[in-house]
Structure 1
Amino acid sequence: MLAANLLEAVQGNPLANDPFFDEQLDQSDTKARIVQKYFYAWAKVITPTAKQMNNKIGYFDLYAGPGRYKDGSASTPLLVLQHAIDDADMRSMLVTMFNDADENHSSSLQAEIDALPGIETLKYKPDVLCNEVGEDVEKFFTETKLIPSFTFVDPWGYKGLSLKIVNGVIKDWGCDCVFFFNYGRINAGLTNPKVRSHMDALFGKERVDALQIELKDKTPEQRERIVLENLSRAIKEMGGKYVLPFRFRRGNRTSHTSESDAGQKN
């Protein structure tokens, strides 16, 4: 069942038990800060026009997690809501949807949200869902006209991440998206027939066929450049006007990659 406020709704979903949430590593802290700063900057630009429309802006997280790391650190959903509580415009305008496929994560997140001081001051109560991200989510975002919204997609790999979902969340005015993926797993997945369906969803079937040929005998550095260039092209072909890729490095290797995508802004 879809939540009623996302213009009028939103449904999402993710993965399951993951040691990622045991403690807030430098990498996850960096990702959280990137998303927060991007979201706050986006909101300042979008809010004046949104006030003249339906007086709503949205924040959607399809892989939200349990709310806190096991060391007690707040993850992105709680940080975003705390900022909204402290901001007069966001208190009256922000519509939020947080989703996780793991029932333990979604129930934990709901409890953490309910415990936030001042959460009752938000005009729109946060929606916490527990769904798998798949074809139903693609269909919803493709067919539903969204309020100006910022979507965060961090599936810890590639499962559930597709061009249709990215295009669906950025297709309407004022909609932006930041998503992360595990480059190492995607690099390996491009030549693994067992995960071919996931690669097709992310790049498109014809592009995967071409990549498998183009990547042969390439150096690691060349492979990384080719993969990122093709992903950026695929997003632009689906309707993304502005695509900004950036990387997380561990020594000389890329561990994760992020894409910042913007759809219709004018």
Structure 2
Amino acid sequence: MTEKFFEERKEQSEAKARIITKYFFAWARVIMPTAEQRGGKIAYIDLYAGPGRYKDGAESTPLYILRTAINHPKISQMLVSYFNDAESANTRALEEEIRKFPDINRLKYAPVIRCGAVDDEAEHYFNETRLIPAFSFIDPFGYKGLSSKIVKGVIKDWGCDCVFFFNYNRINAGISNEIVTPHIDALFSKTRADKLRGTLPGLPPDLREAAILEELANEIKDLGGRYVLPFTFKNAAGSRTSHKLIFVSKNFKGYEIMKDIMAKESSTEDEGVPSFTYSPADASMPLLFSLAQPLSKLRKSLLMKFAGQEVTLNHIYQTHSVDTPYVKKNYKAVIEELEEGGVVSVNSTKGKRRRGTYPDHVLIKFPEGAADGD
């Protein structure tokens, strides 16, 4: 099955690799100054690394990451990289590809490559071992080996974030399949999985997908992953979800960085609000996403949530944006519109400020009950 998976790189795989590599680089830059004072190491962990290349010769994520590290003077001296795969053919191929890198010796720490299943022993290791700051990628072909305990283990320590591959097609079909019950229970917890088994049969496809994602996000949050951000990949026709990338962090800064990265990888946006979806068909069907009028909804929501309050733009963004599709530029656009319309007043605690800017010394005053008539 994994051999077929690596036959050729699809557009979705390229987008996935870009998201992971961009976040790794941004995460490393944020983490390194503190990590230098805590032992001088950061880590990249890939539990389903694959052979390093697709059969058409295109690089997969491990080689993207190492190339980024090699070319960065600081990351190259701090990175500890760990690559695992359950198939020995894949680990041998990856090891050979890494050996071919002409500048691999720039890395202070040689990449560690291991062959083994991601099982109960792996769960125990990650939950009982204190990790150095690490960004982990968990990318199984299906659902075997993907569990909420693994996610909890790789994010539990300081500076640790992760992204995991969520094969929606297979998990959606597997929830009601008794043969794979242990794997589904390991991902959602038995209580949440049983809840889904009871509610999903009567739901249409869009609500079924939303319910599955909601239970998954709630399980991860209960285990310490405060910020959960999904990115959806559609099939070639754009008619249904094939899989998702799920980002998990304990820190809003990481959430903000990944949100901006995923926003830029989205196929479509409406009024500047990204879809957080990659669909090869979106370019030919722009109307499907253009009817939501998301900025109108954001405007009304802000007027209701912050009625009578005087707050900064950063406070608005950090307290409102979580679990929404909105990025910071969307909030700025709405506040600017409200200011120009005289709906909100703006006060700078440091004298004059340039119109249309909202630094932390600028307070935005919302009126009482302004959204009632919207």
Q: Is the 8 A contact 1:242 1:263 kept in 2?
A: yes
Of the three residues 232, 236, 241, the one matched with 1:247 is 232
Residue 120 of structure 1: how far off its partner (Å): 1.0
Alignment check: 8 A CA contact 2:230 2:247 kept: yes
Structure ID, larger Rg: 2
Distance 2:134 2:46 in 1: 11
Deviation track 1:42-94 (CA, whole Å, cap 9, x = no partner) reads 11111111111111000000000001111111111111111111101111100
The partner residue of 1:261 within 229, 238, 248 is 248
Which position in structure 1 is the counterpart of 2:19?
A: 34
Query: Deviations 1:196-242 (Å, cap 9, x if unpaired)?
Result: 00000000001111111111210000000000011000000011111
1:148 corresponds in structure 2 to 133
Paired amino acid for 2:202:
D
**CA-to-aligned-CA distance 1:106-147 (integer Å, 9 cap, x gap):** 000001001101101211010000000100100000000000
Shift of 1:17: 3.7
TM-score, reference length from structure 2: 0.66
Q: TM-score scaled to structure 1, two decimals?
A: 0.92
Question: What is the CA-CA distance between 1:18 and the residue it aligns to?
Answer: 2.5
Give the secondary structure class of the aligned counterpart of 1:141: helix
Q: Is the 8 A contact 1:169 1:175 kept in 2?
A: yes
Q: Percent identity?
A: 54
Q: Partner of 2:246: helix, strand, or coil?
A: strand
Q: Does 1:114 align with 2:99?
A: yes
**8 A Cα contact 1:175 1:265, kept in partner:** no
Structure 1 CA distance, aligned partners of 2:243 and 2:126? 25
Residue 172 of structure 1 and its aligned partner are, at CA, apart by 0.1
Q: Structure 1 residues 204, 28: closer, same or farther in 2, change over 3 A?
A: same
Return the alpha-carbon distance in structure 2 between the equivalents of residues 201 and 100 of structure 1: 20
Determine whether 1:203 maps to 2:188: yes
Moved more, 223-232 or 73-82: 73-82
Instruction: Give the Cα–Cα distance (whole angstroms) in 1 for the partners of residues 81 and 112 of structure 2.
Output: 6
Give 3-state SS (helix, strand or coil) of 1:200's partner.
helix
- Offset, 1:265: 8.1
Q: Which of residues 188, 209, 224 is equivalent to 1:224?
A: 209
The count of corresponding residues between Structure 1 and Structure 2 is 251
Q: SS state of the match for residue 201, structure 2? A: coil
Q: Which letter does structure 2 place at the counterpart of 1:167?
A: K
Q: Which amino acid counterpart does residue 108 of structure 1 have in structure 2?
A: A
Distance in 2 of aligned mates of 1:149 and 1:163 = 17
Residue type matched to 1:261 in 2?
Answer: V
The CA distance in 2 between the partners of 1:26 and 1:207, in whole Å, is 33
**CA RMSD between the two structures:** 1.3
Within the candidate set 96, 104, 108, 2:81 is matched to 96
- Report the 3-state secondary structure (helix = DSSP H, G, I; strand = E; otherwise coil) of the residue aligned with 1:215: helix
More relative contact order, 1 or 2 (CA 8 Å, 6+ apart): 1
Does structure 1 residue 190 correspond to structure 2 residue 182? no
Aligned partner (choices 86, 90, 93) of residue 105 of structure 1: 90
Q: 1:67 aligns with which of 52, 56, 73?
A: 52
SS of residue paired to 2:135 = strand
Mapped partners of 2:74, 2:112: distance in 1: 19
Q: CA deviation at 1:263?
A: 3.1
Structure 2 residue identity aligned to 1:37? K
What amino acid is the match of 1:210?
A: K
Contact 1:60 1:150 in 2 (8 A): yes
Query: Which residue is 2:326 aligned to?
Result: none
